[in-house]
Amino acid sequence: MQEQYRTVARAGVHETEINRSRFLCAVAPVADEREAQEFVAGIRKEHPTAGHHCFAYVIGADASVQKASDDGEPGGTAGVPMLDMLLRREMRYVVAVVTRYYGGVKLGAGGLIRAYGGAVGEALDLVGVRTRRRFRLATVTVDHQRAGKLENDLRATGRAVREVRYAEAVTIGIGLPDGEVDTFRAWLADTTAGTAVLELGGEAYGDG
């Protein structure tokens, strides 16, 4: 499993004009291939009169799913340079759609490759990038007497507190970088005089 991956910080649209053709690049973070395809379909609906809706997406922290479409542009001049730009920027869980309104001037294969790849690069610059790091999910169970101070201490030391549940005891869900589990276990025992119980769960990605 990858230790971390990069994705777009938010959805956004960047527009550029080249030789009277308008290129609108919409990018968004997506969780899976279905979400990516739904995003593409949404852009098509939004711009029904545009000549082309070329797209590329990369899914998986290890980029296991990669798709690209030229949508009627000459083969290899749109979807592939868009995908290349996403991969060159090490983007994951991201979709990019470039909508083109033709302006009457042919750009040629080289011009199209530069236009489509460039539109994606400029859109990524606009929306920004965030890094998601791999975490081990864990649960700390502690008595009510110590729970408030422990939660404050966790937040003060920069731990990712995911949820807090109050029952007979208090359970605090946290995310831990894998390499810090042993250090955290020792810190927890020290802070709670050995009264807290730590249970490790599965793995997930979170903001780092």
- pLDDT for 2 beyond 80: no
User: Residue 31 has what pLDDT?
Assistant: 92
User: Residue 133 has what pLDDT?
Assistant: 84
The pair of three-digit structure tokens given for residue 151, joined into one six-digit string: 């939660």
CA neighbor of 43 nearest in space, from 86, 114, 100, 93: 100
Give all domains of the chain, ordered by start, each with its CATH number: 4-127 (3.30.230.30), 131-207 (3.30.70.240)
90: left (phi over 0), alpha (psi -120 to 50) or beta: left
The pair of three-digit structure tokens given for residue 187, joined into one six-digit string: 């810190």
The pair of three-digit structure tokens given for residue 14, joined into one six-digit string: 């960047």
**pTM of the prediction?**
0.75
**Mean pLDDT, residues 69-78:** 96
pLDDT tens profile 74-128:
999 999 999 999 999 999 999 999 999 998 889 999 999 999 999 999 999 999 9
